[in-house]
Amino acid sequence: MQKFKIFLTSVLFLAAYMGATAQIGASEFFLEPIRSQYIPVTLNKITCVVFPVGIKPAGKGTKDVLAQKVKGTDNVLELKAARQGFAPTNLTVIGLNGRLYSLELRYEADPGICNYRVVNDSVEGYEPVTGAAEHTVLLSGLPADESVLSADADTVASASSFLRLATGSEKMRLVLQSIYIKDRLMWLRVKVKNHSLLAYPVEYVHFSIQDKKRAKRTAIQERILRPVYSSPENLIPGKDMRLLVFGFRPFTIPKHKKLVLQLSEPGGGRLLTLPVGYKTVLKTRVLQ
């Protein structure tokens, strides 16, 4: 009987030990190193690094290096030494693609290279390199660079039209031909037809969201919409037409409101006003 109790105690102790070991093993984790990239920094020159996406500097190891995004951009990091001969330090940058970029900063009195771009953005890491390759800078507030927006506008201008919302006045005609979504922007294509012999110089194009109806003696409540991209066209010759393309951040219109497009020539001469209802905006198509 005594031997059985000893055996039972041993079994219970072994089971408890194995359970505790299993719990410890289940909670273990390992750290995989993220390879840092070396960048020289100096006092009398500014070093710039162009990332493939928008960035947020997350933290640096010392105040001896000044690090910030270049004003007016989303993906360009500016580095400059705050004092000579600082000890090597590091900088962490978070990309809007979810990647963490680790940079090792060292002081050099006169580095031969001051501008880099991030390439080979993969699981294995990345390498800042230099060369004659194109360096794309993302301007703040824009979903893409200007060359992409211009190309998108050309694509929208050549795409098929599926709307026929129009207005006319004094031998001028304004037609909303299509609304597309491309590259995270809502694109409106408008045709302006001049049936007169007099050229129509475009002084301004105005977009706003207004109430459909308003009470008497009540001021118009409107919200101005400013396009991210506008066609460079500013003149509609006599007996001719032009296609105008405008890119907006996507929006919708409440049922009790309307989108109002106004086109005017200098001096408020021939003014074209085109109201667009919420149902028309909901007809927006995706442009591949």
CATH for the 148-286 domain, from 2.60.40.1150, 1.10.1240.10, 3.40.630.30, 3.30.1380.10: 2.60.40.1150
| pLDDT tens track for 223-241 | 899 998 898 888 999 999 9
The answer on pLDDT for 22 being more than 60 is: no
Q: How far is CA 76 from CA 20, 44, 61, 157, in A?
A: 50, 19, 20, 32
Intervals of CATH 2.60.40.1150 along the chain: 148-286
| pLDDT tens track for 90-121 | 999 988 777 889 999 999 999 989 999 888 65
Cα(251)–Cα(248) distance, rounded to whole angstroms?
8
DSSP β-ladder status, 76-81 and 115-122: unpaired
Q: Which one, of 164, 160, 162, 141, lies nearest residue 248 by Cα? A: 141
* Percent of the chain residues past pLDDT 90, beyond the cut: 51
pTM confidence score: 0.55
* Angle subtended at Cα 254 by Cα 251 and Cα 260, rounded to the nearest 5 degrees: 70
How much is the mean pLDDT over the chain?
Answer: 83
| pLDDT tens track for 247-276 | 999 999 999 999 999 999 988 789 999 999
| pLDDT tens track for 156-190 | 999 999 999 999 999 999 999 999 999 889 999 99
Secondary structure class of 253 (helix, strand, coil): coil
Cα(286)–Cα(178) distance, rounded to whole angstroms?
11
User: What per-residue confidence (pLDDT) applies to 179?
Assistant: 97
CATH second-level architecture of 37-140?
Answer: Sandwich (2.60)
Q: Terminal CA-to-CA distance of the chain, rounded, Å?
A: 82
